[in-house]
Amino acid sequence: MGPAQERQPARAVAPLALLASQGVVTLRRGARAALDWFGVISFAFFVGLIWLGYMGMMTGVPPRWRQLRPRRARFTPQFNLLYFPLGRPR
C-alpha cells in the first residue's frame, strides 16, 4: 500500500479496462489480432511461471525453492499417476 494519491487511480483501472474493452470491436483486424495474440501469450507465460514455481516447490528443484514449501511437520509432496488426469477423489 502506498500513499493515498497512488491508491485512488489504481482502483479505477479495472472499471476503465471494462469500458475500453467495448471499443475493441472498432479496431482494424490486424490490431485486434495483435491484441488477442498479446493476451494469449501473456496469459500462457504467467500460467507457465505459476506452474514452474509450483513444481519447484513440490520437487525441491532448484534447491532454493525448497524453502517455499508449506512448513507443516508431516508434509510430503506426493504424485499419483492415476489421480493426475482424473483428479483426487473426495
Domain count, the chain: 1
Contacts 24+ apart (CB under 8 A), 59-68: none
Residue 78 forms part of a structural domain: no
pLDDT tens-digit map of 28-39: 999 999 999 999
Rounded to whole angstroms, the Cα distance separating 69 from 4 reads 35
pTM of the complete model: 0.60
Distance CA 25, CA 4 (A): 35
Report if residue 48 sits inside a domain: yes
Q: Which domain holds residue 36?
A: 32-62
Which cell numbers hold the place of 14? 479495472
User: Mind listing the pLDDT tens digit for each residue in 46-68?
Assistant: 999 998 888 887 777 787 776 76
In a domain, 51, yes or no: yes
What single-letter DSSP state applies at residue 53?
H
Residues 67-84: pLDDT tens digits? 766 666 676 777 777 777
The residue that leads in pLDDT, 15 or 88, is 15
Q: What is the pLDDT of residue 55?
A: 82
